């Protein structure tokens, strides 16, 4: 994560554990590999060494919005789930529904960072649930600030991939128009 400047652009310290991130298309995130938006359009499964009795928060964020050269919307978060018991994401509280990667045409490679935080207990998130039919409320997010506000500390697991525009991005933009 240091090589790709996720540390310090997104987090202060890289997690010690690599999360296994597998998309329904069959591709996996692997420490900066390049995937196509079409391959990551559906919510992935994420696995890490979770303690079954603990709760976790997971986030997927893009620090390169609208481009890595001009990240004026840093970060644009694509997914946020809290109160995950163990690593059973489907049982967690969805704060922001999953939206696949959608880098603008000509903006180059974007980093998509998936981070897992261990909570100290169940959290009552004061958060308006964001659906996946609009991009409102997703830009200028900071997972670092979110983690601080909710006492999450540093991430315990993470992974990331890179993607750039492909023809599927137009479908994501159409979805975001409601």
CATH number at residue 145: 3.90.280.10
Q: Is 77 within the bounds of a domain? A: yes
Q: pTM value?
A: 0.96
Confidence of residue 127 (pLDDT cuts 50, 70, 90): confident
The count of structural domains within the chain is: 1
Residue-averaged pLDDT of the chain = 96
CA distances from 154 to 10, 144, 151, 166 (A): 11, 8, 9, 33
Confidence of residue 52 (pLDDT cuts 50, 70, 90): very high
Q: Is 56 within the bounds of a domain? A: yes
Residue 178 is predicted with a pLDDT of 74
Q: Is 1 within the bounds of a domain? A: no
Domain around 124: 6-176
Q: Is 110 within the bounds of a domain? A: yes
| Residue 148 CB neighbour total at 10 angstroms | 11
Q: Is 24 within the bounds of a domain? A: yes
Q: Is 125 within the bounds of a domain? A: yes
Q: Is 132 within the bounds of a domain? A: yes
- Residues 129 and 94: beta-carbon distance below 8 Å: yes
């Amino acid at each position: 994560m240091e090589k790709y400047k996720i540390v310090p652009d997104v987090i202060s310290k890289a997690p010690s554990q690599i999360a296994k991130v597998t998309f329904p298309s069959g591709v996996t995130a692997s420490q900066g590999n390049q995937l196509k938006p079409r391959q990551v359009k559906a919510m992935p499964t994420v696995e890490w060494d979770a303690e079954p009795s603990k709760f976790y928060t997971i986030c997927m964020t893009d620090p390169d919005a609208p481009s890595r050269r001009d990240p004026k919307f840093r970060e644009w978060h694509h997914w946020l789930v809290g109160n995950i018991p163990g690593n059973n994401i489907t049982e967690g509280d969805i704060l922001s529904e999953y939206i696949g990667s959608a880098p603008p045409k000509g903006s180059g490679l974007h980093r998509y960072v998936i981070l897992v935080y261990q909570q100290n207990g169940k959290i009552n998130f004061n958060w308006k649930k964001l659906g996946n039919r609009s991009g409102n409320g997703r830009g200028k997010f900071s997972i670092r600030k979110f983690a601080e506000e909710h006492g999450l500390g540093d991430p315990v697991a993470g992974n990331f991939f890179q993607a750039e525009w492909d023809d599927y991005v137009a479908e994501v933009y159409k979805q975001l128009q409601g």
